[in-house]
Amino acid sequence: MMFQLGSALLDACVLAVLSREDTYGYVLTQSVRSIVEISESTLYPVLRRLQKEGWLTTYDRPFSGRLRRYYAITPAGREALMRYREEWENYKKQVESMLLEG
């Protein structure tokens, strides 16, 4: 059985990966994919939305004769991640209470 990953949790996962280091789309997809099945075509709209929110910035670096776009978390993105982490802790406690204790 697979649990659905909502957009807020996906946003939080992307921000968490980028809080560790700047990275480009393929590596970011692989990192998120380690916990949930996601394609690059699903991830790029998320990245654009987070960038529009001011939570991410981008920059390009040359790689093998072409440019590779990197994503970096902003201070506002770090604040959003902190809020997501707080909300996750509360949500996790409620779910565990129901599933494990109920």
- Structural domain tally of the chain? 1
Q: Residue 71, exposed/middle/buried by CB under 10 A (0-12, 13-18, 19+)?
A: buried
Q: Which domain holds residue 86?
A: 7-101
Q: Show the tokens assigned to 9.
A: 């949790």
| 2 part of a folded domain | no
Provide the mean pLDDT of the chain. 92
CATH code of the domain in which 11 resides:
1.10.10.10
Q: What is the pLDDT at residue 102?
A: 61
On the question of pLDDT at 35 being above 90, the answer is no
| 41 part of a folded domain | yes
| 1 part of a folded domain | no
The pLDDT tens digits for 37-87 are 888 888 999 999 999 999 999 999 999 999 999 999 999 999 999 999 999
pTM to 2 decimals?
0.87
